[in-house]
Chain A
Amino acid sequence: MEEGILHAIQGYMYPNEVELQWSILIVLYPFTTGLVAGAFILASLERVFNVAAVKPTYRLALLSALAFLLVSPLPLQLHLGHPERSIEMYLTPHTSSAMAMFGFIYLWYLMAVLVLEIWLDYRKDMVLMARSETGWKKTLYRILTLGVDNISEESLRIDDKLGRFITIVGIPSALLLHGYVGFIFGSVKANPWWSTPVMPIVFLFSAIVSGIALVLLMYMLVCFLKGIPIDMPCVDTIARYLMYAFLVDFSLEMLDLIHRIYEADESFKSLDFMVHTRLYTSQILVQIVFGTIIPIAMLAFIQLVKLSDAARKGIYALAGLLTLMGIFAMRWNVVIGGQLFSKSFLGYTTYKMAFATKEGLLPAILLMILPFVILWGLVKLLPPFDEEKAAV
């Protein structure tokens, strides 16, 4: 193993840099939190900005956000050398540490925003289900209502008002959640690949992009599985928002790139070499060409040409998948790419991913399946499409 590590080196690296510090698990962390923030922002469009067309996805977006938010700290936890000490981040936080403060933003977002908003939105359903169900289900729903079973019109009006207020608080919270993840990387001055003030904004917009793509795909998938017809004006609207967000995201990333090329500071030659060699496939091909330009072109094409419902569905599905792949590649290129070159700018290493180890590919795959399992459970427990069913 020792030989293998050293053989991966090209040029000169500081000896302690030979071992990569952050693995694929740390790639999952910005990817999953990004999906959360993006899905929530899509949901808030309906609630705050009254975009009625996306209403069918409102509840699904919230549940998806919750499923991914519950999973997002797990890869971090698995990565720690001493996971049993992680509670110290809450008990004795170091206030100048971006990582420590993220813990509080996470907790705020989970408990004060997402869980509360879902609870308020589902309270009526839960009370009704607690009344109609029997056995353990009845007990479960009663616990979930926290004993608040007043569903008079006046009470529901307060729920709605509160929910709206929480969404308004939630939007800056969601922006903060993912902008902050960008800051964790963007504030590391020792690493020129990360250190840029644009990083939080780029992370934010790529988060919105990935979240919208996720909800678009999940909505079409759930409709397909449940045999519910897809609301085409809804997916058309979501796809349009996806394109707009993607254009902003791509412009910001290109701005960063052009700025780096033009300024060409001391790190430029080293980073440029890395992008043309070790990061070429994941950065140029997967992220930029297949993960950004092609899906944007597909979405733009639909705006220009009138296509059948079936064709649009197909294109949305493909564009959504490519988008998620592209954003995942972006996270990969930030996290892994930032560790492939030496801070001496004189050498490069490679990332050799293990499979069935604590930080290998297998746990990464399991951690990416887990949110979908949780979402499946949440959809069973809190059906997001009751209104449609009633309408049909």
Chain B
Amino acid sequence: MNSDRRDFVLTAGKLLLLTAPAAAYLEAVESGKAEEPAYKTFEHYWGMIVDIEKCIGCGNCVRACKVENDVPLEPYFFRTWVERYHVEGAGEHPDVDSPDGGYNGFPEKYAAGDGAKSFFVPKLCNQCAHSPCTQVCPVGATFESPDGAVLVDKTYCLGCRYCVQACPYGCRFIDPRTNTVDKCNLCYHRITKGLTTACCESCPTGARQLVDLKDARDPVHEFLRTHKVHVLKPQMATGSKVFYNALDGSVR
């Protein structure tokens, strides 16, 4: 059979065009019928309520988080930590401390009736809807999931630390064991199975509550209607989804 270059190009071109649907077909056949996932990301929109009035600074949440999420124990790696504020007067110069991030609770430091107010502020990733950290990631290794959680793909993170710089709240750190970034992901492995986060689970006073803003039955809606809540650093316009009740203006 005679064949010239034109025939070759035509045949090869047709075959080349066929490879894409063939690959798609093979993939569908090999993976079998996709199972309907029990957890649907678009059915949820996660956030948290932190009630300053209820926090007693016991550090349960910090300890539970470190265990549940295998966070390095050094006192400068935290997915969540607790700060103690001591505010005199107008609160322009608050005294703030967080010994070991509140891991061991707080040793007595201030005498009762010293003319100042004192309170605890638990901190964690604010799961921002317009998060500056995901904006700067050069490869999209950190991203906002449709269910509102800001997640990190550790198998993709370059460890460039740009996101650590971009977070206004100091919520990110580099895990020295993997050289990739880490931060609170709202115990994603738990909440996608219908459980609450380790910190909320272990909080003895219910100061922290995981909320699903898309769930009409979630008490969060009633709470937001009846309480004066605030987010951290609202001037950063990050769309934070961690709402604080009774947050003092001195808190940074």
Contacts and interface: CB of A to CB of B under 8 A. Distances in A.
Interface of A: 2, 5-6, 12-19, 21-22, 76, 79-83, 85-86, 88-89, 92-94, 96-100, 103, 188-191, 338-339, 342-346
Contacts of A76: 160
Contacts of A80: 158-160
Contacts of A100: 138-139
B151 interface: no
B162 A97 contact: yes
A342 B168 CA distance: 10
A15 B136 contact: no
B132 to A, nearest CB: 6
A97 B138 contact: yes
Helix, strand, loop or mixed for chain A's interface?
A: loop
A14 B132 contact: no
12 contacts: A15-B75, A17-B170, A80-B158, A89-B158, A92-B139, A96-B135, A100-B138, A103-B138, A189-B236, A190-B165, A338-B165, A344-B96
Contacts of A344: 96, 170, 252
Leading 7 A-B pairs by shortest Cβ distance: A81-B159, A14-B170, A81-B179, A190-B168, A100-B138, A18-B76, A94-B140
Nearest to B76: A18
Contact of B156 (A17, A83, A88, A191): A88
Given A343-B170, A344-B170, A93 B138 contact: yes
A384 B10 CA distance: 52
Contacts of A17: 170
Interface residues of B, number: 43
A338 B164 CA distance: 13
A131 B162 CA distance: 50
Given A16-B170, A19-B174, A89-B158, A5 B164 contact: no
Contacts of B98: 12, 15
Contacts of B101: 15
Nearest to A265: B235
Nearest to B179: A81
Contacts of B132: 188-190
Interface string B54-91: 00000000000000000000111110010100000000
Contacts of B214: none
A81 B180 contact: yes
Interface in B82-114: 83, 94, 96-98, 101
B230 interface: no
B158 A86 contact: yes
B139 A5 contact: no
Contact of B96 (A22, A93, A99, A346): A346
